[in-house]
Amino acid sequence: MMPEQNNKKSVIDVFNRDIVTSAGYKYTTNAPLSSRMANLRNTEATLECVDFSGKRVIDIGCGDGTYTIELFDRGKPEYVYGADLANEAIKIAQQKKGNRKIFFEVQNVGSLSYASDSFDIAHIRGALHHVDKPVDVLREALRIAETVVVVEPNGYNPVLKLLEKFSKYHIEHKEKSYAPITLRHWISNIGGKVCARRFAGLVPFFCPDWLVKILKLIEPFVERIPLINALGCSVYIFVAKRDKTYLPGLNRLNRDSDHLLVSCTRRKNTMQAVPKLSLTLPLSPKGERGFCNYLSYFPLREGIL
């Protein structure tokens, strides 16, 4: 759950400090009951959304490996790669994994070194709100895996918004949350489509044990009631896939006023802006390698990319 490399150094230092002082993150190592219950529900809800069995999986922003290992043990994937920028967290993760087919690496999550389609599923849990450019992380996830599952703090939850402003932990770790509609908008703009989504969990990470027991009793009811779940649940989970407009050779998608800049890799060439919602790129027998380098501008409307 660590920031990409261009995030502020102080954030990385805070997470590395947690590792050094606690041998893990505060909400995963010697964690209170509330953190354990919250994490367990997040894992359960994720597994209810996606079948990881036998799949090639990457955990982007894996942190100290706690969630990665739990995902491996319960989801039964073929193997899991874990990528995170925090070197101290990766060291701890390596120590925890035992003989499992999990491979942890220090990586900039906004610019991963893996080839396109290296994985079946990209798992991003609690990482997007720690990076400066979350859209870059989502774009990378869709590049290296056809299916992306994201678990993020619920940006509609008013209690969470208060914690972000007044909780010492949230302030030190620069915790924030995005509105689910914002996350869906980002996915749509980079060529993905949200195919499943849900709100889950009611227990905050740090709260008294007596409150945990009460919240767990009402949690199932809150999760099932529309609007109440949007305002009360702690996390928002969604599954995204590439839609039919997704271009495997895509190198960059940037918004430029009301147009979209599409850039692919190879030799330089430029096409003028087209006045309608269409984009024609020549294909060669070599498939996606046949995309020459074109810069094309066309109007961006809802439902397109």
Q: Is the residue at 199 inside a domain? A: yes
Q: What confidence category does residue 240 fall into, taking pLDDT thresholds of 50, 70 and 90?
A: very high
What was the pLDDT predicted at 167? 67
- Do 36 and 166 reside in the same domain of the chain? yes
pLDDT digits (tens, 9 = 90+) for 256-295: 333 444 444 333 333 333 333 334 444 333 333 333 333 3
b/e sequence 81-109, b meaning 16+ C-beta within 10 Å: bbbbbbebbbbbbeebbeeeebebbebbb
pLDDT digits (tens, 9 = 90+) for 115-148: 999 999 999 999 998 888 999 999 999 999 999 9
- Do 163 and 14 reside in the same domain of the chain? yes
User: What SS3 state is found at 295?
Assistant: strand
- Do 268 and 197 reside in the same domain of the chain? no
- Do 43 and 109 reside in the same domain of the chain? yes
Taking the C-alpha atoms of residue 21 and residue 96, their distance in angstroms, rounded to an integer, is 17
Sign of CA dihedral 95, 97, 100, 104: negative
Number of domains comprising the chain: 2
What was the pLDDT predicted at 62? 93
Smallest Cα–Cα separation from 200: which of 226, 176, 222? 222
Taking the C-alpha atoms of residue 219 and residue 213, their distance in angstroms, rounded to an integer, is 10
What was the pLDDT predicted at 144? 98
What letter would DSSP give residue 280?
Answer: -
What is the rounded average pLDDT of the residues 214-242?
A: 97
- Do 163 and 263 reside in the same domain of the chain? no
- Do 143 and 283 reside in the same domain of the chain? no
Q: Is the residue at 304 inside a domain? A: no
- Do 159 and 58 reside in the same domain of the chain? yes
What was the pLDDT predicted at 295? 34
What was the pLDDT predicted at 8? 42
Find the domain containing 281 and state its range.
250-299
Higher pLDDT among residues 41 and 305, named by residue: 41
- Do 238 and 264 reside in the same domain of the chain? no
Q: Is the residue at 142 inside a domain? A: yes
% of residues, the chain, pLDDT over 90: 55
Specify the pTM: 0.73
